[in-house]
Structure 1
Amino acid sequence: MTDAVSARMKQRLAGAVEVLGRHGLLLLTLAAGLIPALLLALAAGGVYEAVVEEDGVAGLDQPVLDAAITLRSPGVDTAVTWLTNLGGTIGLPVLAAAAVLALCRWQRSWTPLILTASAAAGSLLLTVAGKALVGRSRPPLSDAVPPYEHSASFPSGHSLNSLVVIGTLAYLLVLYLNTRRSRFLTVLAGAVFVLAIGLSRVYLGHHWLTDVLVAWILGLAWLAILITVHQLLHARRLRSLPAG
């Protein structure tokens, strides 16, 4: 992280400590990250329960897929397939690697690499564990656009991984950028990309809507935990720096 960013963060930390005290700031940081993560985990459990019992929000799965099928055309199918590949096992790592390399060179720090790698590892673990636990079948191949996929459906790996990785990169950029406009545009661009990847999975018939919804919820929960840990570690490092 650059000296300017560190100085700005240290100034903010000093102000927060003055108002809340060190223990108060610690508790507030924990609450700000872990309470949303807990609520999101509960929401993910609700979606899982709906899928298992085939009621609630799961009742939207077939109607939404049917609606997506009516929107298809050869040209749109090709474009959406290219889009969804950006969130896949090749496209997303390539995009992330390029972004991380640029951030590391810009900030002269390994933090973007460490944080993004940690985020991706946790996201991959959630994806693999979720698919193994639920073992849900994907929509019928007759309703899908090739190339077909045959792994378990719940949660959507493209949706979960893209949210976590792009969310982490957006978080880092928000820390590094100096203007509110640039930060807003960063968050907006990341959100649009993640939304597009998730919806592409439903459009192509590769996932049910609830596969994508639970992926987004789990991704947000993991991202909240990751950011909380990073903020705590960063605050501790800034407190150890000499006043300047």
Structure 2
Amino acid sequence: MTLIYVLGLLAVLVPVVLTPVAATRWAPVVRDGRAAHRLRVAVAGLTDAFGRTGAALVVLLAGCAAVVAICWPLGEALARLEPHVDHPVFDYVHARRVDTWAELNSFYTALGDRYPLKWVTGVATVVFVVLWRRRRWWVPLVVLPLQFIVEQYVQAILATMVDRGHPPTDLGTYPSGGCARIMMTFGTIAVLAMVTWRLPRGVRVALVTLVVTLVSLEGYTRIYAEKHWLTDVLGGWIFAALLFAVTALAVLVAEGRIRPPAPSGVTTPATREPVPTAT
């Protein structure tokens, strides 16, 4: 039982420690890399062709298709681990369940259900529409409900394509929707907050860390509450990260926050040294 408590502690400590490191050290490297430059070039071309709103829609649709293309074979691979990984983990947790700890996990894991997140989405939509009343107020009005709908249907597509079944105690299947819903809802709220206010870098990192920690803890509670196989949660974390990245990019494109690529320097032709003439 001690191992289960330790894993619960790690579900909090690991994202709290690693997320700031990733945000301060790894993210700048990715931002300045070749892939990011190509992305800025593509976004600039889409924006020129379709405008910011049209480009954001193209990014969202293409990104969702890419998420499905990645997570479908991932789900098929994870499903093959079910007899060797999921069943032993499930049996280990089931044999060591403690009522008080189970109640705490069941209380927290409900945060990832659709009903409470509908309220969170609705309240956040009203708040940001009011805050954006003197700017493009319709952006949060569209983005916040849309993130909820996108997660639901992309997850349903993957669940149908993989069709791996569920634990004997619940109907949860691949990928873990609770993890994805928390990432999408609170992550989108965090992105809108960063766009709304000029937050210091430390505050932005803290917001990202909080969201990642909520998602990590949701995955742990989904396993202990016996709602998902372990590999459902692992796939749910990857699915959540990819789908949120697509959604965040679409929001930034719609707001014109993607920095266009710097124009290549103009090189002047080399000048030849004058040839000395004999006198």
> Is the TM value for this pair above 0.5?
yes
Q: 1:113 to 1:200 in 2, by over 3 A?
A: farther
* Displacement of 1:41: 5.6
1:130 is aligned with what amino acid?
L
Question: Are the equivalent residues in 2 in contact too, given 1:44–1:218 (CA < 8 A)?
Answer: yes
From 202, 227, 239, the equivalent of 1:218 is: 239
Structure 2 match to 1:166? 186
From 89, 105, 124, the equivalent of 1:99 is: 124
Counterparts in 2 of 1:187-202, with a 5 A limit? 187-202=208-223
Asked if 1:86 corresponds to 2:111, the answer is yes
Structure 2 match to 1:19? none
Asked if 1:235 corresponds to 2:263, the answer is no
**What do residues 57-95 of structure 1 show as CA deviations (whole Å, max 9, x unaligned)?**
874323333443355311111111111111102111112
2:102 is aligned with what amino acid?
D
Counterparts in 2 of 1:6-155, with a 5 A limit? 25-27=40-42, 44-52=71-79, 54-55=80-81, 59-69=84-94, 72-108=97-133, 109-141=137-169, 149-150=170-171, 153-155=173-175
Q: 1:230 to 1:64 in 2, by over 3 A?
A: same
**SS at structure 1 position matched to 2:255:** helix
Once residues 230 and 46 of structure 1 are traced to their aligned partners in structure 2, the CA distance between those partners, rounded to angstroms, is 28
Instruction: Return structure 1 stretches of 4+ with deviation > 6 angstroms.
Output: 33-40, 236-239
**What do residues 194-229 of structure 1 show as CA deviations (whole Å, max 9, x unaligned)?**
111222111111101111222222222222222223
Once residues 236 and 187 of structure 1 are traced to their aligned partners in structure 2, the CA distance between those partners, rounded to angstroms, is 18
Once residues 243 and 256 of structure 2 are traced to their aligned partners in structure 1, the CA distance between those partners, rounded to angstroms, is 20
Question: Are the equivalent residues in 1 in contact too, given 2:72–2:161 (CA < 8 A)?
Answer: no
Question: Are the equivalent residues in 2 in contact too, given 1:40–1:220 (CA < 8 A)?
Answer: no
Query: Whose Rg is larger?
Result: 2
Q: 1:91 to 1:71 in 2, by over 3 A?
A: farther
More displaced, 34-43 or 159-168?
A: 34-43
| Count of paired positions | 206
1:64 is aligned with what amino acid?
V
Query: TM-score when scaled to structure 1?
Result: 0.70
2:162 is aligned with what amino acid?
V
Identity over aligned residues, as a percent? 22
Question: Are the equivalent residues in 1 in contact too, given 2:111–2:117 (CA < 8 A)?
Answer: yes
**SS at structure 2 position matched to 1:86:** helix
**What do residues 144-183 of structure 1 show as CA deviations (whole Å, max 9, x unaligned)?**
xxxxx43x61222212222222221122222234212221
RMSD: 3.5
Once residues 222 and 115 of structure 1 are traced to their aligned partners in structure 2, the CA distance between those partners, rounded to angstroms, is 14
Q: 1:75 to 1:225 in 2, by over 3 A?
A: same
Question: Are the equivalent residues in 1 in contact too, given 2:64–2:154 (CA < 8 A)?
Answer: no
Question: Are the equivalent residues in 2 in contact too, given 1:131–1:154 (CA < 8 A)?
Answer: yes
